[in-house]
Structure 1
Amino acid sequence: MNDTHITVVGNVVDTPRRNRLSTGSVTNFRLASTARRFDGEAKDFVDGATLWIDVACWGELGGNVAHSVSKGDPVIVQGTIATDSWETDAGRRSAAKIKATSVGLNLARGWAEFHRPSRNTSPAELVPPEVGEPGDPGESPLGDLANRSTDYQDDSATLHGESADDLAAAQALEPAR
């Protein structure tokens, strides 16, 4: 059987709900993705149709989503799409649903920190660290990230300056394709 793989970029429109079932645990949320296009007459971008779709995140992914994603967050969801069908008093109903294989925050719309659990820690045991509010007087907008990262320099310089010699050396180390 061929699965239909899909990637959807959009916003979470409700609070993710974690449910424990006999077959495992699942976290469900609804996603909205609105198309945008440039209108030549108006010389501006306009909204197109909105795709509303349910997302199911099983197992460890579901636990991580429940701890990391909130209503309103911009996300990128990848998985397989299928149609769920059920019976109601009004007759047979159906809706498309994504069984997610990965969910990530859309970093084109903001920044985040990633926390990897240790092998013996379940996602339910994770407690996110306290983070100061950006904009506190005397605090970097990146919080303590600037102190922990070796790449970030709090000035106008670039993160890594590369010369033509550095690039040529790196290319020489790459295997031929």
Structure 2
Amino acid sequence: MNETDVTVAGNIVNSPQRSRLPSGDSVTNFRMASTSRRFDRETQTWTDHRTFFVDVECWGELGGNVSHTLSKGDPVVVRGEIYTHEWDSEQGRRSRPQVRAAHVGPDLARGVADFRRSARAAVPAEEPGEDAPPAEDPYSGRSTDYIEGEGTLHQTDFDVSGDREAVPTPA
């Protein structure tokens, strides 16, 4: 299949809205704006240039995480499939760009964030038997560097956010 994947960095321009469909699926939608900037040599300043507006749809668990985490005005990075949403209206055939997001996150070039893993639903335990498959590891194939309760890979001795005093690391 040929999909057109894009990455768009910008700001959320309306509050993310989560909806549950009759099928039971859930989707969160928001609109974002990405404004290019240009350096004006005459004034020696950066100026806003053109703005690209796009609607973003986030399905399932991603949508739930977006609706609980992000708000209007937040800087975000969105990666997903871009396509043209088309519909008929009283003015005739209409269309607009839309992204079906696979990944959404805060833009850490423009701020800081506190990340928490989502709680995963427990896999029902089966009675062990001769033909029972081995229990699946929920972290199989994933890095275990930051499993809840485990220490970090290394200690830091400074605070880059600048809002707290640095705490020295014991030797």
TM-score (norm: length of structure 1): 0.69
1:20 corresponding residue in structure 2: 20
Amino acid at match of 2:166: D
Amino acid at match of 1:18: R
Q: Structure 1: how far apart are the matches of 2:155 and 2:61? A: 30
2:103 corresponding residue in structure 1: 102
Shift of 1:22: 3.1
Q: Structure 1: how far apart are the matches of 2:108 and 2:26? A: 27
Partner of residue 155 from structure 2, selected from 129, 151, 164: 151
1:119 corresponding residue in structure 2: 120
Q: Structure 2: how far apart are the matches of 1:155 and 1:60? A: 36
Shift of 1:97: 0.1
Shift of 1:151: 2.9
SS in 2 for 1:67: helix
1:85 corresponding residue in structure 2: 86
1:5 matched to 2:5? The reply is yes
1:75 corresponding residue in structure 2: 76
1:124 corresponding residue in structure 2: none
Q: Structure 2: how far apart are the matches of 1:11 and 1:37? A: 18
1:170 corresponding residue in structure 2: none
Between Structure 1 and Structure 2, which shows a larger proportion of helix residues?
1
2:65 corresponding residue in structure 1: 64
SS in 2 for 1:48: strand
**What per-residue deviation string (whole Å, max 9, x for no partner) do you get for residues 87-119 of structure 1?**
112211111100000000011111111111222
1:174 corresponding residue in structure 2: none
**What per-residue deviation string (whole Å, max 9, x for no partner) do you get for residues 71-97 of structure 1?**
000000000100011111221111110
**What per-residue deviation string (whole Å, max 9, x for no partner) do you get for residues 13-40 of structure 1?**
0000001113411000000000001111
Q: Structure 2: how far apart are the matches of 1:115 and 1:47? A: 34
Return 5+ residue gaps in structure 1 as ranges: 122-147, 160-177
Shift of 1:155: 2.6
TM-score (norm: length of structure 2): 0.71
Amino acid at match of 1:90: Q
Q: Structure 2: how far apart are the matches of 1:151 and 1:14? A: 38
Return 5+ residue gaps in structure 2 as ranges: 123-150, 158-164
SS in 1 for 2:48: strand
Q: Percent identity?
A: 50
